Structure 1
């Protein structure tokens, strides 16, 4: 069974993502911010990371740089309301694999998982 780490400060987003991901037969772990996510990556080693852009303590970009620097190879899907081209380019340059806009549904998330080869 594949594992997905959901890194988002919104309890509602984590709950919705968990529900969708479990229906797609993923084991789901949750982190409340980037720092929590970095710590969980050290023990969980997820196949996929669903990552929020704006979070307290450590944001999505800092999280992404930190885990890539540590050799984390999980597919990363940014889940965000940020849709400007400069943000997308920066995320891809930092190691993100794909983007999904909030709010998202099962079909949208499944499509992105398929695009990164994780579904």
Structure 2
């Protein structure tokens, strides 16, 4: 089972994401802060991460994950509220692979992650 981490300060976003992604076959772990996320990554790197751009330390979190041995293998989605080029480029430079628009819903998460759970 693929492991996916949601790093977002919103309890509601993490809960909704966990419910949808668990139904798609992921083992979902949650982090309410960049620090908590990094501590979890030090123990075991997830296969995928959703990192909220509004999370304090989000860019540092991505950079730090990329510096961990095997951290380059983690597929990181930088979650933005709007398609703002500056914010997206900052995420890309930090090491994000792709982007998600927030708020996400079942359709968006299913389109993005359904085919990757078993892969």
| TM-score (normalizing by structure 1) | 0.88
The structure 1 segments of at least 4 consecutive aligned residues displaced by more than 3 Å after TM superposition are none
Residues 44-53 or 76-85, more deviating: 76-85
User: Is 1:51 aligned to residue 54 of structure 2?
Assistant: no
> Counterparts of 1:39-78 in structure 2 under 5 Å?
39-56=39-56, 59-71=57-69, 72=71, 73-78=73-78
Contact 1:98 1:112 survives alignment (8 Å) = no
Higher relative contact order structure (alpha carbons within 8 Å, sequence separation ≥ 6): 2
Query: Which residue matches 2:11?
Result: 11
Contact 1:47 1:118 survives alignment (8 Å) = no
**What secondary structure, in the 3-state scheme, does the structure 1 residue paired with 2:116 have?**
coil
1:102 is displaced (CA, Å) by 1.1
1:33 is displaced (CA, Å) by 0.7
Contact 1:75 1:118 survives alignment (8 Å) = no
In 2, Cα distance between equivalents of 1:82 and 1:39: 29
In 2, Cα distance between equivalents of 1:43 and 1:118: 23
Aligned length: 115
In 2, Cα distance between equivalents of 1:91 and 1:100: 11
**Which consecutive residues of structure 2, in runs of 5 or more, have no partner in the other structure?**
none
